[in-house]
Amino acid sequence: MKIEMCLLAAASAVAAVAAQGNGILPMNNDRDAVIKVFEENVYGVRPKFDGFVPKAEVVQVERIAEAGAIRKTVAINTMTPLGEATFKATAYFPEGKGAVPVFVMPGFDEPVREFSLAWKGKMSRWPVDLVLSNGFGTVTFDYNDVLKDDAHVLDGIERAPNAWGAISTWALAVSRVADWLETEPLADKSRLAVVGLSRLGKTTLWAGATDTRFALVCPTCSGLFGARMATRNLGGETIDQITAKFPHWFAPQCRTKWCGKDWELPFDQHWLLGAVAPRLLAVGSAEDDWWACPSAEFCSWECSRGRFQELKCIGNTTYHVRHGGHGLTPVDWEEYIDFAKKHGWAGCTTP
């Protein structure tokens, strides 16, 4: 019943799209301009990183017999507003299947080094067994290893109004994982997906919008400055609330320029969803996740479909809302895996 109510609210929001004077911004189909707008006003502009030398070293390779999988631990360097950092990523690939599509997931406290805890549904956000059984590989890392998720983490540095924040930093780390996967013989570099929850759903969308190597982008329960429209909020988080509690996530002027102006923004998130086109986009919501406002997430997705329609790839985008609250569950993963398979991600190739 709750899903029906959620969809009714979403349908009402979408119905407003056709009405004159509804306040929803027309779609901006200039991808470069859209990225520039969000760099300047939300996530921040990354510096040039002169002198940075990217590195990725496989430090451990193990055979996980119970899963028929190969686990690789990789040390990867990246840049942050505080300087260079190195984080460890953990990858699983089906054994003996050649180069396979890979789902990259920036993670929270997933037990990336303890396989038994991530196996057989014991860690629902990262169901390794489900991914492997479908013939795909998967990689995760702890986002706190890249830049600590603390409101005061950037207090000691001078920041320009459009300086990059934590979400852009974590998204860069996602791209650094893609750099490694391009050199990994067990990965099909033409079929890389990125999946993330909540603040890491925002990270997922920004990484996927800016890095076209990700052929499938799956923001989940990503809320404000993720998949959700700011201008169609029905009781969810506001710009004031998110930038006051998490100032380090965004460019400083995201707060100073737009706080209290949620309904007046000259840009909105359906633009960023559209920037993924013509690649694959799968947006996930949960019926009880009202802080993220699933109806506004759906409205944003619906409005972004025009870009896919224009590029004659309307089948490349999908949306689902599931029972329950804020989270990334096996139900969400099944949606994303099924969507990938519908688009020819067979799950394995021969060497």
CA neighbor of 176 nearest in space, from 147, 201, 133 = 147
Question: According to the model, what pLDDT value does residue 20 have?
Answer: 33
99-108, 154-163, 338-347: least confident range? 338-347
C-alpha 285/C-alpha 101 separation (Å) is: 24
Are 202 and 225 in contact, with CB atoms under 8 Å apart? yes
Residue 212 lies in a domain: yes
Question: According to the model, what pLDDT value does residue 21 have?
Answer: 41
**pLDDT class for 124, splitting at 50, 70, 90?**
confident
Residue 351 lies in a domain: no
The CATH number of residue 334's host domain is 3.40.50.1820
Question: Mean pLDDT throughout 326-345?
Answer: 97
Residue 347 lies in a domain: no
Q: What is the DSSP letter of 155?
A: T
Question: Is 350's pLDDT higher than 80?
Answer: no
Residue 272 lies in a domain: yes
Judge residue 337's burial from the number of C-beta atoms within 10 Å of its C-beta, 0-12 exposed, 13-18 middle, 19 or more buried: buried
Long-range pairs for 27-32: beta carbons < 8 A, 24 or more residues apart = 27/270, 27/271, 27/274, 27/303, 27/304, 27/306, 27/307, 28/267, 28/271, 28/274, 29/274, 29/307, 29/310, 31/275
- Cis previous bond, 330, omega within 30: no
Pairing between strand 83-94 and 137-142?
antiparallel
Structurally, the chain folds into a number of domains equal to 1
Residue 305 lies in a domain: yes
Residue 81 lies in a domain: no
Are 48 and 333 in contact, with CB atoms under 8 Å apart? no
Residue 79 lies in a domain: no
Question: Is 259's pLDDT higher than 70?
Answer: yes
Handedness of CA 217, 223, 226, 231 (dihedral sign): positive
Q: Where are the alpha helices (DSSP H) in the chain?
A: 2-15, 31-38, 115-118, 128-133, 166-181, 199-210, 239-245, 252-258, 269-274, 294-310, 330-342
Question: Is 324's pLDDT higher than 60?
Answer: yes
First CA to last CA distance, the chain: 48
Token digits of residue 122:
């014991």
**pLDDT class for 66, splitting at 50, 70, 90?**
confident
Backbone φ and ψ of 145, nearest 5°: -70, -20
Alpha carbon 110 to its chain's center: 16
C-alpha 203/C-alpha 173 separation (Å) is: 10
The residue that leads in pLDDT, 109 or 31, is: 31
The amino acid that residue 348 corresponds to is C
**pLDDT class for 5, splitting at 50, 70, 90?**
very low
Question: Is 6's pLDDT higher than 90?
Answer: no
Pairing between strand 83-94 and 69-80?
antiparallel
3-7, 23-27, 48-52: least confident range? 3-7
Domain that holds residue 115: 2-17+25-52+94-342
Pairing between strand 137-142 and 187-197?
unpaired
Residue 60 lies in a domain: no
